[in-house]
């Protein structure tokens, strides 16, 4: 299965929640901190407990890079716990001149063997092309992000009346001729998603901003349902993995994910 | 000395060339490939040969990350060869939501101890703030890049008539209240630099695009000279480090850097 097929396959099973592994040693249950490798132990337990219910796992590179060599080892080993049929997303927001992006793409897809990556499009097409040349992978390109700073540039109005993030969506549709592109679209404000869902058309969408950042799960699911489409992932990081901080942290994460899945099924089938 | 002081100090010595360590194992002199650690041996020799003449060193993260744990070790060790008084730039083009950017900043400034970083501003102020809170560091924010894809978004015209990259420059000036920001401005086309040099005002500038990418060294130096200002770095990567591919590769790199320095001095003092 290629990356896109993995996404649609899980969506078909009514799984839409991507579990974000933003694993921060300072937020781990305190009893874990005495273990040999708290981050890895935490991730292994979270993945074991949630893998039957997750649509995808997103690994936030920053949380691993900050520990240098040890962090990179943890990143690699964490990937090895994730079943082959579940989409893995390298949340790395890369994008650079061509020969550099080629190296980043090699890192993400060949060294670590992720299925998918998040990309920053500011530097334009040639900065993304070395990634897009990996046809079996799925490239989630930042359009509108879920943070307040999205107002600084992403929401600037262009001469033609559209907004920068809308121009990015249009370009991604152009660049999607090989059916391996998607977008990141922040779900903090569901009106923005509603206003742009036609423009997004059939592009796969990764949606951060639900949960800790304030977006509404039910608004998102209802919107996609109304459009009669799947091919999307609602990312929840802190809301799942730090749900409880006691010895039952993994069971709590599983319960929270199952609760979200149930809420989504209720929205889809009523 | 903080990062900004390191920059001005080298500029005062008429050193303006930043040596880009885009070290690619496939481009190394073949005799090195049998050594234990070709990348590290190459970097050590290049730095030894050029450190008296370099204004700064820029390390392109992609070229190290692609080798995973071994690459990260090489990145760390490479930094240890660079004298304390020379500015080190983490060319990582980071930028993410606040809690994630905080981790990236920790990685760059605390784990690796770089003086400076390149940042991607697409996600706006709060995505850069965790970096900017490091007051002694220097933050080069992407405004106009040197690649063809800069036409896709950076050069889009906004409703108010300015271009996106100009809006970025304006914002960086606002964000520079603690005197620790600069911009990346591609020097591929020196007319663009000429047209925007007043807008850039006194911001420190990192200029890629001279050399392999086609920009003119003399145009850049002449422009800054006319404005009566320093506080800039002309990055040259491939043009220096791969100047020769024989056993004298380090001597060649040194000669090329000395030649560029001489060309710059001639422009400044005639």
ipTM score: 0.96
Closest partner CB to A147 (pick from B121, B123, B168): B123
Give yes or no for B27 touching A (CB within 8 A). Answer: no
How many A-B residue pairs are in contact by the CB < 8 A criterion? 186
* Integer angstrom CA distances of residue A243 from A19, A37, A240, A247, A257: 12, 21, 5, 12, 10
Question: For the segment B39-85, what is each residue's pLDDT rounded down to a tens digit?
Answer: 999 999 999 999 999 999 999 999 999 999 999 999 999 999 999 99
Q: How confident is the model at residue B132 (pLDDT cuts 50, 70, 90)?
A: very high
How far apart CA B58 and CA A98 sit, in angstroms, is 17
Q: Exposed e or buried b for every residue in B172-196, given b needs 16+ CB within 10 A?
A: bbebbeeebbbbbbbbbbbebbeeb
Chain B residues closer than 8 Å to A158 by CB: 156-159
Residues 6+ apart with CB under 8 A from B269: none
Closest partner CB to A72 (pick from B68, B98, B146): B68
Q: How confident is the model at residue A265 (pLDDT cuts 50, 70, 90)?
A: very high
Q: What is the DSSP string of B197-265?
A: HHHHTT--EEE--BSTT-B-HHHHHHHHHHTT---EEEEESHHHHTS--STTHHHHHHHHHHHHHHHHH
Q: Quote the pLDDT of residue A213.
A: 76
What are the helix (H) ranges across chain A? 3-12, 38-50, 62-65, 68-80, 98-105, 125-132, 164-175, 190-200, 217-226, 238-241, 249-268
Bridge-based pairing of strands B232-236 and B205-207 is parallel
What are chain A's domains?
A: 3-268 (3.20.20.70)
Catalytic positions of B? 93
Q: How confident is the model at residue A214 (pLDDT cuts 50, 70, 90)?
A: confident
Cβ distance A114 to A79 under 8 Å?
yes
Chain B residues closer than 8 Å to A162 by CB: none
Reduced to 3 states, what is the DSSP secondary structure of residue A68?
helix
Average pLDDT of every residue of chain B? 96
0.80 cut: is pTM over it? yes
Question: For the segment A98-108, what is each residue's pLDDT rounded down to a tens digit?
Answer: 999 999 999 99
Torsion angle of alpha carbons B68, B73, B75, B77, nearest 10°?
-170
Question: For the segment A48-85, what is each residue's pLDDT rounded down to a tens digit?
Answer: 999 999 999 999 999 999 999 999 999 999 999 999 99
Give yes or no for A147 touching B (CB within 8 A). Answer: yes
Alpha-carbon distance A166 to nearest alpha carbon in chain B (angstroms): 11
Cβ burial of A99 (10 Å; 0-12, 13-18, 19+) is middle
Alpha-carbon distance B175 to nearest alpha carbon in chain A (angstroms): 12
């Amino acid at each position: 299965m290629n990356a896109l097929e993995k996404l649609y396959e899980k969506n078909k099973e009514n799984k839409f929640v991507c579990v974000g592994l933003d694993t921060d040693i300072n937020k781990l249950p305190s009893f874990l901190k005495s273990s040999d490798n708290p981050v890895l132990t935490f991730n292994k337990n979270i993945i074991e407990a949630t893998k039957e219910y997750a649509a995808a796992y997103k690994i936030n590179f920053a949380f691993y890079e900050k520990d240098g060599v040890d962090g990179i080892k943890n990143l690699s080993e964490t990937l090895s716990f994730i079943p082959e049929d579940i989409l893995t997303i390298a949340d790395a927001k890369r994008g650079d001149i061509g020969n550099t992006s080629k190296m980043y793409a090699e890192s993400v897809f060949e060294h670590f063997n992720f299925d998918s990556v998040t990309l920053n499009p500011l530097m334009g097409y040639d900065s993304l092309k070395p990634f897009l040349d990996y046809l079996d992978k799925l490239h989630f390109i930042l359009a509108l992000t879920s943070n307040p700073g999205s107002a600084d540039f992403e929401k600037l109005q262009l001469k033609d009346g559209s907004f920068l993030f809308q121009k990015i969506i249009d370009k991604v549709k152009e660049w999607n001729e090989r059916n391996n592109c998607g977008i990141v679209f922040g779900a903090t404000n569901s009106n923005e998603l509603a206003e742009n869902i036609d423009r997004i058309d059939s592009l796969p969408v990764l949606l951060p901003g639900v949960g800790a950042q304030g977006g509404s799960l039910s608004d998102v699911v209802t919107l996609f349902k109304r459009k009669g489409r799947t091919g999307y992932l609602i990312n929840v990081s802190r809301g799942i993995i730090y749900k409880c901080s006691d010895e039952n942290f993994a069971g709590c994460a599983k319960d929270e994910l199952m609760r979200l899945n149930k809420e989504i099924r209720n929205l889809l089938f009523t």
